Structures are given as structure tokens and as C-alpha cells.
Amino acid sequence: MAGHSKFKNIMYRKGAQDAKRARLFAKLAREISVAAKSGIPEPEKNPRLKNAIINARAENMPKEKIDKAIQKSVGGENDASYEEMHYEGYGPEGIAIIVDVLTDNRNRTASEIRSIFNKHGGTMGETGSVNFLFSRNGIIKYPSSVCPADIFFDKAADSECKDINSDEDFHEVICDSEKLGLVRNFLSNKLGDPLSAKLEWIPLTPVKIDESKLDSLIKFLEVLEENDDVQDVYANLEVTKEILEKISI
């Protein structure tokens, strides 16, 4: 699994400061509101909202904040119209980057993201400039404590998944993007709700770079994550547990 770990996972493992957690909750709330507004504001009848709530709970977002995000959309308190977009480019050391955003002002966001790329020695490209290096898949995760790896494999193998991985921390199921809701529901019936369920960009060939050159890349990814409109950042960087232990954020 380490081969396609995205940068948010690095930050999560290293612990978040209060400011980062507040920013994370704001982004999760935005996704919940957009999901609720896009369909029926009931999780069991709206797969995207169900996923958004599961992912918020995985980050320990308080229930009252989740409920408030839904009510803002239902009650018309949130009149902002958000667009889902993604930006592509290359960061320091030539690492391919995809940035998923939810924005109410695409010109502002594009300008801010381009500025971050430029200031950190990267280059923002056109749509399609790096996404061929990734595949878009559904990723469903459970904590390893839910059951032993062999039992998890037996239960998950009957779902319409593409791959199953386990390590000492997580069990992970990979599926086609259009089958995320279907596979999630199948697993939920057998194991309960997952730790997280979402669409992610998975690098086809993760790139390992010299540890001595990580600092500039990590700083660049961190600044991208701090942008209010950025929901997720993906890189075709190979991240091992040994590197995670040595990275200081």
C-alpha cells in the first residue's frame, strides 16, 4: 500500500496540529455539504454523502459538525456553488502531482495553485499532462484490527474488487471507480462501515527519490495541502515506512 500513499496520509501518520485539524474539518465539511446538495441529503440514499461522512468520522470529526454541514446545505445556508476540478503538474525532483479541489472561484484557485508550483520549483501543466501516470480507483480501508488478514481476504474476495492488500495497520480494497458504492456496501454488510471510502488517484509506477532530496518536495506538498480549496493531493512518490519515520513535518 505504501507505493500509492498520498500526502495526506503522511500528515495523518505524523499527527496534526490544531490549525491543520481545523483546516481539515473545514474541507471535510465542504465535501459533506456539496455531497448533500448534489442529491438526497440522506446517507443511505446518497452514496457520495455516505462516503463523505465515513471519511469525516475517520478523521474524528465531531458528529455535530457533520450534522451542521448537512443542514447548511439542506437549509439553504450554503448558497456557494462549488466546482470540482483538478490540476496537474510536476513538483520538485520531477514528481508528478494531481491536486483535487472544490472551489467557488476557479480563477482564484488556479492562480493560487500555479503560484505554489512556481514558487517551489514545480510546473503546473494542462489537464492530461500527468494523469496518464495514475489510475482513478475506489479505495476502501479498514483498520487491521477488524479481523485477521486471511479472514478479511476471504470476505472481500467475493466483492467486485480489483485488488486486496493488508499490512499491520490497514486492510485495503481497490475497485473500479464506478463500483465504489457497490463494493463499500458489500463490505459494510460483512464487516461494518469502513474507516474510509473514496476515489483516489493511484500512481501506476511509484517513483522513489533519494531521502536527502525529500525536504523540498514535502514542503511543496504541505503548502498545497494548506490551500483552503484543495481537498486532496496525490503524488507518484513511493513512500516507505522507513521514510515516514524519518520525515519531520
All structural domains of the chain with their residue ranges: 2-74
Query: Could you tell me the three cell numbers for 153?
Result: 481476504
Which among 4, 2, 13, 3 has a CA at the least distance from the CA of 234? 4
Reported confidence tier of residue 249, pLDDT bands at 50, 70, 90: very low
Task: Return the number of other C-beta atoms located less than 10 Å from residue 40's C-beta.
Answer: 10
Average pLDDT (223-244) is: 84
In angstroms, the Cα distances linking 28 to 20, 35, 51, 180 are: 12, 11, 11, 19
Contact 5, 172 (CB under 8 A): no
Contact 102, 82 (CB under 8 A): yes
The alpha carbons of the chain give a radius of gyration, in whole angstroms, of 18
- pLDDT tens per residue across span 87-101: 999 999 899 999 999
Options 3.30.2320.80, 3.30.930.10, 1.20.1250.20, 1.10.10.200; which CATH number does 2-74 get?
1.10.10.200
Average pLDDT (190-211) is: 90
The pTM for the full model equals 0.81
- pLDDT tens per residue across span 127-158: 999 999 999 999 999 999 999 999 999 999 99
Query: Could you tell me the three cell numbers for 209?
Result: 527519490
Average model confidence (pLDDT) across the chain: 86
